[in-house]
């Protein structure tokens, strides 16, 4: 990770309908030289307006607010409006829903300085990870652009990901997709399994699936994507379900709802 990336201040927006809560967050953030509070909002509608003008790195977001609650704000502006979202609320009933929409943490009021520092550290790591992935993606695109394109390849044919950029120990690795064994969904991340190693990416399974060649990678479960080249055999279970056994011996479950698509691929349709 470059020194420039570490020194760059993270643009932060504070959204809460309580003035004292906003003041408390501002004071805590002011003590961190790596953070820059670029604005604060007292209502969800005001937050939507500000976020539509441009994204921020970190968003501290209350849930229960007049006009539009925190979840409505995120639905209105989309996932690209903030690199890391931290819900700050006095209610503990929304935790699961918060993580379902990709929140980096759920900060329950009242909280102490140590708790805030821990949450802020996670938010920083999320943003920096996203920046590394963005740089790696650009590097991969440049690398692919230098390779000659076969003359017989149709211009209109879809293009799929050839390498996956993953962060490991401060480095960015470019993993050829043919080396991937299988992928599993893990909250708002995916775990990419390559041999005996695995890599965690902040991307939904649906997003990654759309980037991979469907003739090679197939969804066999709502949370599992498999490289067909790694499949050795299918073992029947009950009610139309199967075990998908890979060459390394691992078994993955094939759900009945995904069986038809597998049949189509195997029959060449």
Count of domains in the chain?
Answer: 2
| Mean pLDDT along residues 229-234 | 87
CATH number at residue 84: 3.40.50.2300
CATH number at residue 239: 2.40.50.1020
Q: What pLDDT is recorded for position 4?
A: 40
Are 70 and 87 within 8 A, CB to CB?
Answer: yes
Residues in the chain: 269
Q: What pLDDT is recorded for position 179?
A: 93
Residue 158 lies in a domain: no
Q: What is the DSSP string of 205-243?
A: HHHHHHHS-TTTEEEEETTEEEEGGGEEEEEE-STT-EE
Question: Looking at 89, 117, 133, which one is the last position of a domain?
Answer: 133
- The residue range of the domain holding 73 is 3-133
Whether residues 119 and 220 fall in one domain: no
Whether residues 121 and 48 fall in one domain: yes
Q: What pLDDT is recorded for position 100?
A: 62
Residue 139 lies in a domain: no
Whether residues 195 and 103 fall in one domain: no
Q: What pLDDT is recorded for position 263?
A: 67
| Mean pLDDT along residues 113-124 | 88
pLDDT at 38 over 90: yes
Residue 143 lies in a domain: no
Q: Residue 236 to residues 191, 195, 239, 251, 253: CA-CA distances in angstroms?
A: 26, 25, 9, 12, 10
Residue 145 lies in a domain: no
Whether residues 37 and 79 fall in one domain: yes
Residue 142 lies in a domain: no
- The CB-side HSE value for 261 (13 A sphere, CA atoms) comes to 16
pLDDT at 265 over 50: yes
**Is residue 116 very low, low, confident or very high in pLDDT (cuts 50, 70, 90)?**
very high
Residue 35 lies in a domain: yes
Residue-wise pLDDT tens digits, 134-158:
555 555 555 555 555 555 555 445 6
Whether residues 20 and 128 fall in one domain: yes
Of the listed ranges 5-9, 115-119, 160-164, the least confidently predicted one is: 5-9
**Is residue 5 very low, low, confident or very high in pLDDT (cuts 50, 70, 90)?**
very low
Q: What pLDDT is recorded for position 3?
A: 42
What burial class does residue 63 get, using C-beta atoms within 10 Å of its C-beta: 0-12 exposed, 13-18 middle, 19+ buried? buried
Whether residues 92 and 24 fall in one domain: yes
Whether residues 33 and 88 fall in one domain: yes
Residue 193 lies in a domain: yes
Whether residues 127 and 176 fall in one domain: no
Residue 71 lies in a domain: yes
Cα dihedral across residues 128, 130, 134, 139: positive or negative: positive
The DSSP symbol for 63 reads S
Whether residues 114 and 168 fall in one domain: no
Whether residues 125 and 172 fall in one domain: no
Whether residues 170 and 124 fall in one domain: no
Q: What pLDDT is recorded for position 259?
A: 76
pLDDT at 186 over 60: yes
Gap between the Cα atoms of 199 and 185, Å rounded: 12
**Average model confidence (pLDDT) for the chain?**
81
Whether residues 86 and 20 fall in one domain: yes
Of the listed ranges 31-35, 72-76, 157-161, the least confidently predicted one is: 157-161
Q: What pLDDT is recorded for position 77?
A: 87
For 170, phi and psi rounded to 5 degrees? 80, 0
């Amino acid at each position: 990770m470059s020194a420039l990336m570490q020194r760059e201040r993270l643009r932060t927006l504070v959204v809460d309908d309580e003035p004292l809560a906003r003041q408390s967050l501002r004071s805590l953030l002011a003590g961190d030289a790596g953070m820059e509070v670029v604005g604060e909002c007292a209502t969800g509608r005001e937050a939507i307006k500000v976020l539509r003008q441009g994204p921020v790195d970190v968003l501290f977001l209350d849930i229960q607010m007049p006009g539009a609650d925190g979840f409505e704000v995120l639905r209105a502006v989309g996932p690209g409006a903030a690199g890391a979202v931290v819900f700050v609320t006095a209610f503990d009933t929304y935790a699961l829903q918060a993580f379902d929409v990709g929140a980096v943490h759920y900060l329950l009021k009242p909280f102490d300085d140590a708790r805030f520092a821990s949450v802020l550290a996670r938010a920083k790591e999320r943003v920096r990870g996203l920046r590394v992935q963005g740089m790696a993606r650009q590097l991969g695109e440049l690398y692919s652009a230098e390779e000659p394109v076969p003359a017989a390849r149709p211009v209109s044919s879809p293009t799929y990901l050839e390498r996956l950029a993953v962060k490991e120990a401060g480095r960015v690795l470019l993993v050829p997709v043919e080396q991937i064994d299988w992928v599993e969904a893990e909250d708002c991340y995916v775990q990419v399994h390559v041999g005996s190693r695995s890599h965690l990416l902040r991307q939904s399974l649906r997003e990654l699936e759309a980037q991979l060649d469907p003739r090679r990678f197939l969804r066999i479960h709502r949370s599992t994507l498999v490289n067909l080249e790694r499949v050795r055999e299918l073992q029947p279970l009950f009610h139309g379900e199967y075990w998908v056994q890979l060459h390394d011996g691992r078994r993955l479950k094939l759900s009945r709802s995904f069986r038809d698509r597998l049949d189509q691929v195997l029959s060449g349709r």
